[in-house]
Amino acid sequence: MMDQSALCRPWEHTISRRQFVAAGAAATAGTLGLAPFLQTSIAEEVQKQHKQVLFIWLDGGMSQLESWDPKPNSQFGGPFRAIATSVPGIHISELLPRSAEQMHHLAIIRSLCTQDNSHSAGVARIQRGDPKDRGVTYPYFGSAVAKLLGPGKSGLPPYVWIKPGSGGFMYKDAGFLGPKYGALAFGDGQPPENLTLHESLTPSQDDVRNRLREAANQRYSNRRRKSVTEANSYVYDMARSLMKRQDLFDSTQFDARDVQRYGTHEIGRHMLQARLMLEAGVTFVKVNSYGWDTHGDNFNGHASLVPKFDQAFAAIVADLADRGMLDNVLVIAMSEFGRTPRINGHVGRDHWPEAWSLAMAGTGVKKGVVVGETNDKGTFVKDGEFDIGHMFHTWFAALDIDSRETAYNNAGQPLPIAHDDMQAIKDLLS
């Protein structure tokens, strides 16, 4: 049976002219084949400049009017002012004063126009990129990146999810890629249960026990589907790697000054932990914040929610920039849709996929720019309408993944990694 997780790697299609000429000349001389050269040299380059993603998911729908696209003194603008940022001419909501100071690192798109206005459809559609109906379940962006970029040298899980509530292994995120590429969720930032080695075992005994497990797994997998047995082994392997990095979960070891800068609230604690995960080499880190579905009392709700997000978001952007990590880390902050300009009878805003915003920063992204525009009332896109498929192409491009040449291989069926009728937004890319 063909390996269902096989994939055309992006670097197989993107070699430099110098590499090609050098390898070709060597092959002609009979001293080196082209394929081994490409596998070795390009793999080394990819490892040296391993890309990462911080994906901040504001579940329920952050209001663009109370964040990245304010419309003060307009019919639907609400009570909050717009404030200047570190980039002259760009203004955002007064609820984001710290993010305003980081605007020179950010790129904002104000012209998203998507389709689904329900959470059940919108969350999945947005995080899967809404490819054409191919008769298969596409992976979430985190699973796609885990597959395309791999774990790097860290040995840690390539896709982790820091979220309120319960944790566990979220295999469904991976879609047809197979459960191996699901998310390992840390509920309330806590590690999986029973992560510490039992006191009756020494490390050497545990190594012997693990070798026995690997032998049993190999025998078990001989007559079973590779995607299933891979996932089973993967869970154990990742647990062993996490056992060696329990410092990532010990909040008593976090720098007290960092804790105060990020905030002692939930999203602050989780964002600080996300930074530590990125520093440890995790490829894709998702941070969830809940409670953004403000059908009632929208303004008080956002007056409470947005400053907490602002504190944590600005802190991590500043830290990644100071550490030089924005050169390799793509930061995305978004929801499944925006909120209606029109204010309902409960002083709330309802679901609005017609015209909303997200913010980005980091590798491959232009700094200090706004792309797209809504009309004066914020009701519809005025210029530069883009769907989520455009964003997937853009994100892949920022990560140096060629979304036109790279394809999934689903049991011999080539599948595009992003909507093939859409393309990257060049105005967002550096």
Q: Residue 10 pLDDT more than 50?
A: no
Cα(298)–Cα(385) distance, integer angstroms: 26
Q: Is the Cα dihedral 77, 81, 84, 86 positive or negative?
A: negative
> In the chain, pLDDT over 90 holds for what percent of residues?
67
Cα(416)–Cα(205) distance, integer angstroms: 46
Phi/psi at 51 (5° precision) = -85, 150
| pLDDT tier for residue 411 given thresholds of 50, 70 and 90 | confident
Domain boundaries, the chain: 10-48, 52-190+249-428, 196-244
What's the pLDDT at 31? 39
What's the Rg (C-alpha) of the chain? 23
- Determine if residue 61 is left, alpha or beta; phi over 0 gives left, psi from -120 to 50 gives alpha, anything else beta: left
Q: In which element (H, E) is residue 299 found?
A: helix 298-322
Contact 196, 245 (CB under 8 A): no
Residue-wise pLDDT for 215-227, tens only, equals: 776 776 666 666 6
Max mean pLDDT among 14-18, 129-133, 239-243, 369-373 falls in: 369-373
Q: What is the mean pLDDT of residues 18-38?
A: 40
What's the pLDDT at 348? 98
What crossing angle do the helices spanning 203-221 and 226-243 adopt, rounded to 10°?
Answer: 170
What's the pLDDT at 20? 36
Mean pLDDT of the chain: 86
What's the pLDDT at 206? 66
- Give the HSE-up count for residue 359: Cα atoms under 13 Å, Cβ half-sphere: 25
What's the pLDDT at 132? 83
What's the pLDDT at 38? 41
First to last CA, the chain: 42
DSSP string, 161-178: EEESS--EEEGGGGGGG-
What's the pLDDT at 208? 66
Residue-wise pLDDT for 284-343, tens only, equals: 999 999 999 999 999 999 999 999 999 999 999 999 999 999 999 999 999 999 999 999
Cα(136)–Cα(130) distance, integer angstroms: 12
- Residue that is written with structure tokens 């459960």 in the block: 179
Q: Residue 46 pLDDT more than 70?
A: no
Classify strands 369-371 and 407-410 as parallel, antiparallel or unpaired: unpaired
Classify strands 52-58 and 284-289 as parallel, antiparallel or unpaired: parallel
Q: What is the mean pLDDT of residues 225-254?
A: 75
Residue-wise pLDDT for 255-269, tens only, equals: 999 999 999 999 999
Q: Residue 2 pLDDT more than 60?
A: no
Residue-wise pLDDT for 120-140, tens only, equals: 889 999 999 988 888 899 999
Query: In sequence order, what are the beta bridge partners of 414?
Result: 409
Q: What is the mean pLDDT of residues 2-31?
A: 39
Higher pLDDT, 193 or 92: 92
Q: Residue 279 pLDDT more than 70?
A: yes
Q: Residue 251 pLDDT more than 90?
A: no
| pLDDT tier for residue 115 given thresholds of 50, 70 and 90 | confident
Q: Which residue, among 354, 352, 399, 349, has the nearest Cα to 372 in the 3D structure?
A: 354
Is 52-190+249-428 assigned to CATH 3.90.1200.10?
no
Cα(398)–Cα(419) distance, integer angstroms: 16
Cα(196)–Cα(78) distance, integer angstroms: 51
Q: What is the mean pLDDT of residues 362-376?
A: 98
Q: Residue 107 pLDDT more than 90?
A: yes
What's the pLDDT at 26? 39
Q: Which residue, among 205, 192, 127, has the nearest Cα to 156 in the 3D structure?
A: 192
Q: Residue 21 pLDDT more than 70?
A: no
| pLDDT tier for residue 397 given thresholds of 50, 70 and 90 | very high
Q: What is the mean pLDDT of residues 368-379?
A: 98
Q: In which element (H, E) is residue 109 found?
A: strand 106-112
Residue-wise pLDDT for 50-104, tens only, equals: 999 999 999 999 999 999 999 999 999 999 999 999 999 999 999 999 999 999 9
What's the pLDDT at 42? 38
What's the pLDDT at 231? 63
Q: Residue 6 pLDDT more than 70?
A: no
Q: Residue 49 pLDDT more than 80?
A: no
Contact 136, 176 (CB under 8 A): yes
Contact 330, 366 (CB under 8 A): no
What's the pLDDT at 207? 66
Q: What amino acid is encoded at 113 in this protein? A: C
The two structure tokens encoding residue 309? 């997000």
Cα(38)–Cα(382) distance, integer angstroms: 46
The two structure tokens encoding residue 429? 């890319």
